[in-house]
Each structure stands twice: as structure tokens, then as C-alpha cells.
Amino acid sequence: MAFPTETVYGLGANAEDPGAVARVFEVKGRPPSHPLIVHIGGAEQLGNSVEDVPETARLLAERFWPGPLTLVLRRGRRVPLEATGGLETVAVRVPDHPVALALLSAFGGGVAAPSANRFGSVSPTTASHVRVELGDAVDFVLDGGPCEVGVESTIVDATGDVPSVLRPGGVTREDLEAVLGFPLAVPSTSRVRVPGQHPSHYAPRARVVLVELEKLVVEAELAQELGHRVGVFLPPAIGGASVKVHAAVEIPDSMAAYARGLYGFLRELDQRGCDLIFASLPMEAGLGLAIANRLRRASGPRPSD
Ligand code: TXA
Ligand code: MG
């Protein structure tokens, strides 16, 4: 069953039922070593999924839940290893969406859910994206309209004293640090590994090419001349200019609107038949950090990396 959250649509199953969890991996085509996020209806249910809740985790949960923040904590015994990809930690969050919260409250337990897309592809931000991705393999899709945030939750390793960000997302680093009152640890010092974070995640069919803003139009037009069907993400500074490429989307002015539209833009350019998508990275602050992270991953490993 697929359901809306404020970030992206999730493909849900009873987190405590190993058979149901296995089915999620099967439908998604995801290797079983990639852990799922357990969704709960409120912070008071955290004790059912995790072993203990350090003070910093409690603080972050109080401030950001419901919301696009996922906390990685020590796994409670009720969460089977199937849901955590064999890890002794578990990722948990309370989504900020009325349909998700109604579902979780009616169900009462934890719902393990990855994004409702095929493994490695772009996350769905509408119910129809889910149908396109998963077809008949999913029995029903709860339609809660387009997702407000549009990029996945921020994942924070909160198992130690100083939390670190494992995946940038809907809650910004700046917001987290303002609440904590101290800087987050750098991810490389994190004690947990980050499975499912390989470079080609979030990829559309077309190849994403990242270029500097100053060269964006020139390079896109050159590739088009060379015979590619080029799509381009036009930043507000360039927006409206006539660019000689196959298709263009104008990036909204605000980072929030950009994040909300990001996956839809990638899908749109795919649908319009582009084989290359040219884009520049936004400033890597606030939500720009998550957007840049997804664009980098969509572009896959580059020869110069
Ligand atoms: O916004 C979101 O987080 C969406 C909605 C549906 O809630 N979900 C989502 O799930 O993005 P998924 O499965 O596509 O990505 C979850 C990521 C995995 O790639 C994995 O890296 C990380 O969460 N993760 C899960 N459990 C973990 C753990 N115990 N330790 C470290 N990383 C973990
Ligand atoms: Mg995903």
C-alpha cells in the first residue's frame, strides 16, 4: 500500500511483520541490505521501535515531529532485522501529512516505508507517479495530493552525543543546529554506515549533466547541436530566455518551491523525450543542500570524481 507524506510518497508495510517487509523489498526491486524508515504516529510511540532515546534525540523529535526529520537510533526488539537491513540501528520518523497520520493512528503500530519508486529511480511526489513507478504491483495508493516538501526527510544519526546528518533533506542543517545549540558532527565521523546511498540514486532515465551556471546555456545548446535531445533546468537568472534546446523547465525562485518541484521536473523532461538534462547546482545552504545532493546523485558518478 502506498501513502502520501509531506516529503515523498511511501510504500508501506507493517514494520513488525517480516513477510510484509520482504514484499516491500520485492515490489521496489531493492536489495534487502538497504534499511527502511519506520513511520510512527507520534513521538510517544518511539519507545516501541527503539532501544533508548538519548536526550539530543528527544529534543530534535520534540521540535521537528511531525516533520521531515528521520532519527537513526538503536533498534528496539520489536523491529525485525528484515526492516533494518540487518543493522542494530533503526531509522524512525513521524510524517507531517494528515493522510499519513490518520493511517498511522488507525493502524497503531510502525509502518516501514521506503519511497514508493523502483530502486534507484526518482521518488514519487504524486499518487500518479506511484502508479507509473509501481503499476499493479502495489494494491492501492492513497491519494493525498502533491507532496509539500518534495525531497526526502533529513536523516540524522542520533545514536551518540553529537548527531550527524546522513542524508540532507527537508529539515535544514541550520535549523537542526539552532535547536541543538552546537554544530552537528561531520558525517564521516558517524558510527553508522549509510546503506542505499550509492551515487546513481534518484536518477531519471535521461543522463543528468551538471555544469557551472555561466556555461549552462552554451553547453546545453552545444549538446543539442550535436544531436542530443537536451532538457535544461533554467535558473531564475536565465529564466524566460530563449534557449535552443528540446525542452526547458524554469526553476522557481524560492528553494522551497524548487525542492517541491524537483522530482516532477526530472520526470517531465524524461517524459518529453530528453536524453540529457543540463542543470547547475544551487547554493548549498538551507534546502539547497538537499537539492544539490539529489542532483549530484541523479548525475551519477562522473569521470572527474
Ligand atoms: O522522506 C522520507 O524519508 C521518505 C518518506 C516515504 O518517509 N522515505 C525515504 O525512504 O526516503 P528510503 O527508503 O527511500 O530512504 C531511506 C534511507 C535509506 O536509503 C537508508 O540509507 C537510510 O534511510 N536508512 C534507513 N535506516 C537506516 C539506518 N539504520 N542507518 C542508516 N541509514 C538508514
Ligand atoms: Mg528512496
CATH number, domain containing residue 76? 3.90.870.10
**Band (198; pLDDT cuts 50, 70, 90):** low
Q: Do 179 and 86 fall within a single domain?
A: yes
Cα 244 to Cα 224: distance, rounded to the nearest angstrom? 8
Q: Do 27 and 54 fall within a single domain?
A: yes
Q: Do 87 and 26 fall within a single domain?
A: yes
Given a cut of 50, whether residue 190 has pLDDT beyond it is no
**Domain hosting residue 18, numbered range:** 2-189
List the one residue out of 208, 45, 249, 13 whose CA is nearest residue 113.
13
Q: Do 217 and 185 fall within a single domain?
A: no
Q: Do 111 and 140 fall within a single domain?
A: yes
* Residue at 256 is within a domain: yes
Q: How far apart are the first and last CA of the chain?
A: 38
* Residue at 198 is within a domain: no
Q: Do 215 and 120 fall within a single domain?
A: no
* Residue at 195 is within a domain: no
pTM above 0.90, yes or no: yes
Given a cut of 50, whether residue 128 has pLDDT beyond it is yes
Q: Are 114 and 52 in contact (CB under 8 A)?
A: no
Given a cut of 80, whether residue 240 has pLDDT beyond it is no
Cα 122 to Cα 147: distance, rounded to the nearest angstrom? 14
* Residue at 82 is within a domain: yes
Q: Do 239 and 177 fall within a single domain?
A: no
* 138 CA from centroid of ligand 1 (Å): 19
The number of the ligand nearest the C-alpha atom of 195 reads 1
* Residue at 20 is within a domain: yes
* Residue at 279 is within a domain: yes
**Structurally, how many domains does the chain consist of?**
2
Q: Do 180 and 211 fall within a single domain?
A: no
Question: Which residue among 189, 220, 236 closes a domain?
Answer: 189
* Residue at 39 is within a domain: yes
User: Given ligand 1 and candidates 21, 49, 70, which is best to mutate, with the most ligand atoms within 8 Å of its CB?
Assistant: 70
* 244 CA from centroid of ligand 2 (Å): 33
CA-nearest residue for atom 32, ligand 1, is 194
Pocket of ligand 1 (CB under 6 A): 5, 7-8, 10, 34-37, 68, 70, 72, 84, 87, 89-91, 95, 113-115, 152-153, 155, 166, 192, 194-197
* 213 CA from centroid of ligand 1 (Å): 31
Q: Are 13 and 24 in contact (CB under 8 A)?
A: yes
Q: Could you tell me how many residues make up the chain?
A: 305
The atom of ligand 1 lying closest to the CA of 7 is 1
* 246 CA from centroid of ligand 1 (Å): 35
* 214 CA from centroid of ligand 2 (Å): 31
Q: Do 64 and 29 fall within a single domain?
A: yes
* ipTM confidence: 0.99
* Residue at 234 is within a domain: yes
Q: Do 13 and 93 fall within a single domain?
A: yes
User: Given ligand 1 and candidates 155, 167, 197, 201, which is best to mutate, with the most ligand atoms within 8 Å of its CB?
Assistant: 155
Q: Do 55 and 170 fall within a single domain?
A: yes
Question: Which residue among 189, 215, 249 closes a domain?
Answer: 189
In this structure, what CATH number is given to the domain that contains residue 274?
3.40.50.11030
> Residues 249-297: pLDDT tens digits?
999 999 999 999 999 999 999 999 999 999 999 999 999 999 999 999 9
Question: Which residue among 158, 189, 220 closes a domain?
Answer: 189
List the one residue out of 94, 111, 90 whose CA is nearest residue 157.
90
User: Given ligand 1 and candidates 37, 79, 119, 165, which is best to mutate, with the most ligand atoms within 8 Å of its CB?
Assistant: 37
Q: Do 174 and 289 fall within a single domain?
A: no
